Structure 1
Amino acid sequence: MTDIMFACVHNAGRSQMAAAFFNKHRTQDAIKGVSAGTNPASEVHGVVREIMLEVGVDLSNITPIKLTPQLATTISTIITMGCGETCPYVPGVKIVDWKITDPKNKPIDEAREIRDEIETKIKAFIAENNY
């Protein structure tokens, strides 16, 4: 299996939404979206849980996890969420950076725009790669 990793610093917003949308929209069961962070938070941001429920995705039981070398062993691509110099680097793994605003502490309307941007990017990524 070759998984797609969605990563950001805290694994509490953008990367969680991206992995959830990837798994929702993918057409190949053999490839799954996973998410992790370089410095994971203790929980997914409340606003992210709320806006994802609005589109039928429940993140209430998800806990941010740390991106470790062991976790990266099944990864073919890491998509980072615009975390700049703190983005993860894993030797031998393709890294793509999407410049996406962090929804943390944003008003709910802005967080929804970020959510919708992520879903649009995910759908395009799936179509481009036949996932």
Structure 2
Amino acid sequence: MSDIMFACVHNAGRSQMAAAFFNKHKTQDGVKGISAGTNPASEVHSVVRSIMLEKDVDLTNITPVKLTPELAKTCSTIITMGCGETCPYVPGVTIIDWKITDPKDKSQDDARKIRDEIETKIKVFIAENNY
């Protein structure tokens, strides 16, 4: 199996949560969730780090990563979270788009709703694809 890429613009919120939840909930050893952004921020949003700790996921030492065509080629699927046309096209790689609100500058309560939406989508994705 190839890796599953979770991509957004800044790689500081949605995609970080999605990759972390994928790795937390997956049952297959041969696949991992990774995340990247088309224009990565310098760090993961503080509200995201805080609310993920509530789910026993520590993003403290995670740094946003640039989404390059080379990195995308290592994946069988790229799940975008609002980066739309700025995500690279890679032949043979399945692209799925999830329209999810950016948690940047949101209250903790609003960010928790986004986090929980992502976790639910991840669990469904894992179940449907036997990951």
Q: TM-score range by the shorter chain?
A: over 0.9
Question: SS where residue 73 of structure 2 aligns?
Answer: helix
TM-score (norm 1): 0.96
The CA RMSD over aligned residues, in Å, is 1.0
CA contact (8 A) 1:7 1:88 kept: no
Matching residue's letter, 2:91:
P
Residue 64 of structure 1 aligns with which residue? 64
Identity of aligned residues (%): 83
Moved beyond 6 Å, runs of 4+:
none
- Aligned match of 1:13: 13
Which runs of no fewer than 5 residues in structure 2 stay unpaired?
Answer: none
Q: Aligned ranges for residues 1-131 of structure 1 at < 5 Å?
A: 1-131=1-131
Q: How many residues align?
A: 131
Taking structure 2 as the reference length, the TM-score comes to 0.96
Residue type of the alignment partner of 1:20: A
The superposition leaves residues 74-95 of structure 1 with CA deviations (integer Å, 9 ceiling, x where unpaired) of: 2000000022333343232110
Moved more, 61-70 or 83-92: 83-92
Displacement of 1:71 after TM fit? 1.2
Q: Which runs of 5+ in 1 are unaligned?
A: none
**Does the Cα contact within 8 Å between 1:37 and 1:64 map onto a contact in 2?**
yes
